[in-house]
Structure formats: structure tokens, C-alpha cells
């Protein structure tokens, strides 16, 4: 027995609606799990589902997972973002992305734009991440990082991290002293130049007077 065309269309429409609701429910649940899952395994499962979608909402959630406390979750977020061809829209987010990816060589090139992300990385539980964050702060050389590095040097449980913090502080302080010395030398050099110009002008003036007397 053939169903009327209208009934067939109604059934298909109902099926599509059910499918859409099912997908919407899955997406909503995956977002909640990726963000609020109590264990890394739960958050990884949420990210795995989010990787199937490619929209602004899921991209925003994945960017947020770049700061997950668990390293595997951060790397899963990186891979999911790269799979959809995502590129960091700004330098601070690029720093966040590179830290999650553990691509430390490129981070100092971002300069001051990477400072906040690196300071945040000093609080992550992985000691190797904190150690590399100290190194990157030393490479950037911004004096505003000294307070954070000093705190790490005093309180971090890892000897390697404390050593990295001390090395970074020494490097930054050396750069600060060098810049200070340059600033102090500039007036002295300027006075020398002015003095030399004055002597030259005096010699020219004396020569001019003598030539007129002749």
C-alpha cells in the first residue's frame, strides 16, 4: 500500500527534525563535557565529538581548552583546531596556541604579546611547561616578568624550574643594566659632540679673523 505523497513528506520532515534535534543535543552535551568534564578522559571525549563540527561555537570552545590543566586535552584541542584549518586571529591567542602545542621556539618572536600567556603558563601543573615558559620570558626580556619569575624561583617545587627562573631573571636584569648604561652614556656622548663642534667653530672663527687682518 502506497502512502500519500503528503504523508511521505511529513515522515521525512519528521525524520530530519529528529536528526537535527539529536545532533543539537549531542553538540550541547559535547560542549558541556569538553568544558566541565571532571576527568581528562571526559573532556577528551567531548573534544573528539566537537572535532566533527566546524563552526564558531565549537571553535570558541576548543580555543578555551588550550588552557586545560591536562596536557593531553590541550594537544587534542590543538589537533581539532588544526584539522579545520584554524589560524590564531591575534598574537596573544597565537601565544596560547603555541604553548599548548609546545612550540617554544616561535613564542619569543611574539614579544610582549606573549607575556600574559607565558605568565599564565607558569601556573600549569607540568614542570616542563613552566620551565620552558621561564626560558621564553627570559628571551623576551621584559622587566615586567621579573616579579612572576621571582615568585617561581622562591616557591616552585621543581629544582629545574627554579633554575630556569633564576637564569631568566639574570638575563632580563643584565639587559636592563645594559639599557640603563646606554641611557647614561648618551648625555656624555652628546656633550662630547657639542664640545667638539664648539672647538671646530672656534677654530673656524679664529681663522676667519686672521684672514681678514691679512
The answer to whether residues 121 and 140 touch, using CB atoms and an 8 Å cutoff, is: no
Q: Residue 180 falls within a domain, yes or no?
A: no
Q: How many domains does the chain have?
A: 1
128 domain residue, yes or no: no
pLDDT digits (tens, 9 = 90+) for 128-177: 999 999 999 999 999 999 999 999 999 999 999 999 999 999 999 999 99
**The Cα angle at residue 53 between residues 49 and 58, in degrees rounded to 5:** 85
Q: Is residue 4 part of a domain?
A: no
* Model pTM score: 0.74
**CATH code, domain carrying 44:** 1.25.10.10
* CB neighbourhood size of 72 (10 A): 13
In a domain, 63, yes or no: yes
35 within a domain of the structure (yes/no) = yes
End-to-end CA distance of the chain: 132
Is residue 2 assigned to a domain?
no
Q: Please give the residue range of the domain that contains residue 71.
A: 24-87
In a domain, 145, yes or no: no
| 151 occurs within a structural domain | no
- State the average pLDDT over residues 13-18: 42
pLDDT score recorded for residue 16: 39
User: Which residue, chain included where needed, has cell 629544582?
Assistant: 159
Amino acid at each position: 500500500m502506497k502512502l500519500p505523497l503528503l504523508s511521505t513528506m511529513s515522515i521525512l520532515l519528521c525524520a530530519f527534525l529528529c536528526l537535527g534535534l539529536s545532533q543539537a543535543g549531542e553538540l550541547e552535551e559535547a560542549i558541556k563535557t569538553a568544558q566541565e568534564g571532571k576527568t581528562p578522559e571526559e573532556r577528551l571525549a567531548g573534544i573528539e565529538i566537537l572535532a566533527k563540527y566546524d563552526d564558531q561555537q565549537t571553535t570558541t570552545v576548543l580555543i578555551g581548552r588550550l588552557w586545560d590543566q591536562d596536557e593531553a586535552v590541550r594537544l587534542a584541542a590543538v589537533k581539532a583546531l588544526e584539522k579545520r584549518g584554524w589560524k590564531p586571529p591575534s598574537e596573544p591567542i597565537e601565544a596560547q596556541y603555541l604553548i599548548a602545542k609546545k612550540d617554544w621556539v616561535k613564542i619569543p618572536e611574539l614579544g610582549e604579546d606573549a607575556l600574559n600567556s607565558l605568565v599564565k603558563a607558569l601556573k600549569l601543573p607540568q614542570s616542563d611547561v613552566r620551565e620552558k615558559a621561564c626560558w621564553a620570558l627570559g628571551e623576551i626580556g621584559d622587566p615586567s616578568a621579573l616579579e612572576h619569575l621571582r615568585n617561581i624561583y622562591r616557591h616552585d617545587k621543581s629544582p629545574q624550574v627554579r633554575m630556569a627562573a633564576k637564569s631568566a631573571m639574570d638575563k632580563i636584569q643584565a639587559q636592563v643594566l645594559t639599557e640603563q648604561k646606554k641611557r647614561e652614556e648618551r648625555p656624555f656622548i652628546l656633550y662630547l659632540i657639542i664640545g667638539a663642534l664648539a672647538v671646530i667653530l672656534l677654530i673656524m672663527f679664529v681663522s676667519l679673523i686672521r684672514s681678514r687682518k691679512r
